[in-house]
A and B are shown apart, each in its own frame.
Chain A
Amino acid sequence: MLLSAIEKSYTLLTTLDKNLYEIVFITLKITVFSIIIASCFSIPLAIAIDLMSSKSRRILIAILNSLLAIPTVVIGLTVYMFISRSGPLGQYNLLFTPMAIIIGQIILAIPIITTIILAGFTKTDRLLHETLITLGANKFDLMKALFRENKPLILSAILAGFGRVIAEVGISMMLGGNIRGYTRTITTAIAFETGKGEFAMGISLGIILILIAVLINFTVYLTFKNEYILRDA
């Protein structure tokens, strides 16, 4: 059974099976969308927190770290109650659409991206702040400078968030409903196909998921191989 499943999965991958690649494409669309929106919140948030007094910064970091521990099914459940047609946001017809998954994934990704950026910031030169302030910079100049100096760090935080979000299953299953050709993502499809005893499709999707993870990590590596952040880590 195992061998024949692997054999069949090889055929699916090499013959560019339409169903398989449709699922991959949908997953990428949803995940990229989520991560871009999440980044729009996370980057300014991280920079703003970093410029706060050390007490409030520590409190906010503690809060963000706790948010990292929230299981995806809890995010799924919470968003579900809000966007169900009998919930407070019911009029927008969001449940069981790609947009529902995106909302959940944004909530999942924001603490991840923000904390990774913040962790990188604390290592970077505090001297930069002091120098800029001495030179008469205001808060906005400081934020711009922090962003400029930390582009590689920010990009690697975004990619780490992407890796987490593309691999999650709780949110996609609960909020998307695993609708074929619409909200069926790589992870929900694996759960679904395994449930039907169709291991070949599951294996193929698993391989693609791993390939995406490898691609992302090597991109980060190649981009920052001369960067101090990675040497520190």
Chain B
Amino acid sequence: MRVNWDVSKVLITLLLVILVSSLNNHILAAERLKLGTTTSTENSGLLNVLLPPFEKKTGIKIDVISVGTGKALKLGENGDVDVVLVHNRKAEDDFVAKGLGVNRKDVMYNDFIILGPKNDPAGIKKTKNISDAFRKIYNRKASFISRGDDSGTYKKELEIWQKDNLKPQGSWYKEAGQSMEMVIFMADNLRAYTLADRGTYIALKNKTNLAICYQKDVLLNNPYGIIAVNPSKQKSVNYSDAMIFINWITSKEGQKVIKNYKISGQQLFYPVTTH
């Protein structure tokens, strides 16, 4: 039984070196601030520019868990994140009213748009308001990809359908259950319409053939709010760091970073305060 142990000895030593070097605060660290947020804030690249100056200034390390608004609030309710940055005012107000979150503050806003094939098969470009646009898609049974999850964008979409008592169903209406990016790519590949937030669209603009088919309606406003998880409901949450972050993101410094974040010259999010 002649075994070439040299090779495996080298390998095992290598693995052990990696292991020992991993016994630093990477795996064992506990004190971090967990931010539950929507895919639009992380995937648009905003958090990549927003968090480093905060982390550098305060020494607080932020872990971003990007899911939909509904899921982020659920994570907050269970105490699995310390602070949430989401975009659905009604759900946010419910969250605070139920005592699950405290100190809600407005952070920034942009707006929703309807994306669709460039030739606009349902002809919604000339419609007067968002309800008309949705009704046209509905009547023509033009392909529409819905987020179909618990995200802020999906909640907004349902709000618009419900306003006109429309119940979208059938093979033209597809619930994807995926992130905003995936839904935009699906709509692109299936030549369908979809409701998207402008930030994500600008970030993906060069990767999709979809065009803005409808925009600018009061109903399409998309404000983002930040809420600390209530420490009296969830004892183990990191409330003090959450408040430091909330105060920073709404401060002159944080708001300026949001304002200055641009992709190919286009601003993605508008800060609420203009100091």
Which residues on A are within 8 Å of B, measured CB to CB? 26, 28-30, 32-33, 36, 84-86, 90-91, 93, 95-99, 102, 151-152, 155, 177-180, 182-183, 195-197, 219, 222-228
Contacts and interface: CB of A to CB of B under 8 A. Distances in A.
Contacts of B7: 219, 222-223
Contact of B185 (A30, A95, A102, A197): A197
B72 to A, nearest CB: 11
Given A196-B43, A223-B4, A226-B2, A182 B63 contact: yes
A85 B22 contact: no
A155 B1 CA distance: 15
A197 B34 contact: no
Interface string B9-30: 0010001001101100011101
Contact of A86 (B30, B63, B79, B208): B79
A86 B78 contact: yes
A85 B236 contact: yes
A32 B79 contact: no
Given A98-B27, A223-B4, A223-B8, A195 B181 contact: yes
6 contacts: A86-B80, A96-B34, A96-B63, A98-B26, A183-B63, A197-B207
Nearest to B63: A179
B179 interface: yes
A219 B3 contact: no
Contacts of A177: 63, 65
Nearest to B233: A86
Contacts of B182: 195
Contacts of B263: none
B3 A227 contact: yes
B18 to A, nearest CB: 5
Interface residues of B, number: 40
Nearest to A26: B26
A32 B18 contact: yes
Chain A CB within 10 Å, residue with most, of B11, B66, B179: B11
B96 interface: no
A99 B80 contact: no
A227 B1 contact: yes
Interface of B: 1-5, 7-8, 11, 15, 18-19, 21-22, 26-28, 30, 32, 34, 43, 61, 63-66, 78-81, 178-179, 181-182, 185, 204, 207-208, 234, 236-237
A197 B185 CA distance: 8
Nearest to B43: A196
Nearest to A162: B15
Given A86-B79, A177-B63, A197-B185, A91 B3 contact: no
A82 B80 CA distance: 12
Nearest to B67: A177
Contact of A102 (B3, B15, B27, B178): B27
A222 B27 contact: no
Contact of B15 (A32, A222, A223, A225): A32
Nearest to B65: A177
B31 to A, nearest CB: 9
Contact of A29 (B1, B22, B43, B63): B22
A197 B204 contact: yes
**Nearest 5 CB-CB pairings of A with B:** A85-B79, A29-B22, A177-B65, A197-B207, A179-B63
A33 B3 CA distance: 26
B255 to A, nearest CB: 23
Nearest to B203: A196
B79 A90 contact: yes
Contacts of B61: 182
A99 B26 CA distance: 10
A195 B179 contact: yes
B78 A84 contact: yes
Contacts of B66: 178
Nearest to A216: B11
Given A84-B78, A96-B65, A152-B3, A29 B181 contact: no
A97 B8 CA distance: 31
Given A30-B27, A90-B79, 19 more contacts: A32-B15, A32-B18, A32-B22, A36-B19, A84-B78, A84-B80, A85-B80, A86-B234, A95-B80, A96-B63, A96-B65, A98-B26, A178-B66, A179-B65, A180-B64, A183-B63, A223-B5, A226-B2, A226-B3
